[in-house]
Amino acid sequence: MLRIPLISMRQGEALNQFVVRDPSKETLWRSLILFGNNVQSYKFALGKSLISLARDGKEIIPLADLALPFAHNLCEHLKKSDVQGTSKSSKFLKACRGYNDGSLTEESLRNSTQKLGFKNVLKAFHILDRNESPIRYFISETNTTQTEGNIRLTNELLEMVRGEQEMNLPHEVESRWRLVEESWRLGISAKLLQVHYDPLEEQLYLPHANPKERTTITSSRGALNGYQRGKCFYCFGTITVDTNDPNLADVDHFFPHTLAHRGLDLSKCNIDGVWNLVLACKGCNRGEMGKFSQFAHQDLLQRLLNRNEFLISSHHPLRETLMCQTGGSIELRVSFLQNTYDFAIGLLGGPWKPVLKANPTF
């Protein structure tokens, strides 16, 4: 089989490549949530609140009405992880903790949120790679201290929550939030965090020193879906991560498990690693013309490289996990994927290629 060299992205180019081939309102939203450094979790709390309020069809939201949904999202996460940012103290988070322990009433929480909670997040939400996002999801109509006034939800947000990706978006925000806060909670370098995948529960987790203990972080579907834009990795048909939806995506191994029984060195190539997990529609994964245990066409290997570079460009534990699994430099990662592919060619049937339902966007 003709060996086609993989094309790698230049350093720092992943975000631009993620957006440029599909600059839609859904992609720009995902860029704001999935990429970039985070010093507080307020962006995630605001994102979940915006989706919820937009679903209700509201357009003009007084800050007093935004305050409780915003604060409640943070209160719920504080129950899971008391660290919600890199700063050592926060009067606002102290108020949320007070509400959780019963020392602060809901009305006091609302007042504290309106006074303290929106100082930076309303301005910072639309910043993408130090620039303003070309699509806005709300317009701030507040005073200079951002304690009084309204936000006005834009048509882009209202249309987005009525679109085909509506059920996926809150899952993606939640998974991103859980990954980021877990690294904060542990208070150690992300380079020391290695996220594992449980194929039975389809969850991402962190192992403990005691092998019987672990910290479950988030659904593997929620963690991966945004980087695939809510599309099947293979055919680009629409998928969902909502477990109650019949169109629920399968978590597929790009390189199948059967390689482990045919000589693949698992100490050097973790088949269950995040690098090898993709979300696929049922038809592509196990339908009549599905991939099953075949090796995929090399065009799809390029797609896997691109998807992994999107993940590596996100600043959370999956970045270091992928680099540990596939290589610390782009050159090493290209070599790792190509060598694994070359190994699979002689052992598996194929090459398999999907029937596209939409144009590929990465």
Last residue of a domain, one of 128, 160, 192: 160
The Cα–Cα gap between 10 and 266 comes to 29
Average pLDDT over residues 36-48: 86
Same domain? For 192 and 340 the reply is yes
Is 221 found in the same domain as 92?
A: no
Same-domain status, 134 and 213: no
pLDDT in tens, 281-339: 999 999 999 999 998 999 999 999 999 999 998 877 788 899 999 999 999 999 999 99
Mean pLDDT value across residues 62-88: 94
pLDDT greater at residue 356 or residue 35: 356
236 and 329 both lie in a single domain: yes
Tell me the sheet residues that pair with 277: 253
Q: Are 97 and 230 in a shared domain?
A: no
d(CA 352, CA 295): 6
- Kindly report the three-state secondary structure assignment for every residue of 189-229: CHHHCCCEEECCCCEEEEECCCCCCEEEEEEHHHHHHHHHC
pLDDT given at position 190: 52
Same domain, yes or no: 206 and 86: no
Query: Is there a domain that residue 18 lies in?
Result: no
pLDDT confidence of residue 85: 85
308 with 203, same domain?
A: yes
Residues 104 and 208 in one domain: no
Question: From CA 219, how far away is CA 241, in angstroms rounded?
Answer: 9
Local confidence band at 36 (pLDDT 50, 70, 90 cut-offs): low
Same domain, 62 and 101: yes
Helix axis angle, 25-34 to 169-186, nearest 10°: 10
| Percent of the chain whose pLDDT exceeds 70 | 96
Number of domains in the chain: 2
The answer to whether 137 and 154 are in contact (CB under 8 A) is: yes
Per residue in 86-137, pLDDT (tens digit) is: 777 899 999 999 999 999 999 999 999 999 999 999 999 999 888 899 999 9
Residue 303 lies in a domain: yes
pLDDT at 8 (0 to 100) = 76
How high is the pLDDT of residue 326?
Answer: 96
d(CA 183, CA 41): 12
Residue 75 — very low, low, confident or very high, per pLDDT cuts 50/70/90?
very high
The model carries a pTM of 0.93
Burial of 36 (0-12, 13-18, 19+ CB in 10 A): middle
pLDDT at position 271 over 90: yes
Same domain, 141 and 201: no
User: Would 167 be classed as within a structural domain?
Assistant: no
Cα-based distances in Å from 116 to 61, 90, 127, 177: 17, 9, 20, 21
pLDDT at residue 10, rounded to an integer:
74
Is the pLDDT higher at 91 or at 12? 91
pLDDT at 4 (0 to 100): 60
Q: Looking at the structure, tell me whether residues 205 and 239 fall in a common domain.
A: yes
- Give me the pLDDT at residue 248, please: 96
> The domain containing residue 152 runs over which residues?
36-160
Same domain, 46 and 132: yes
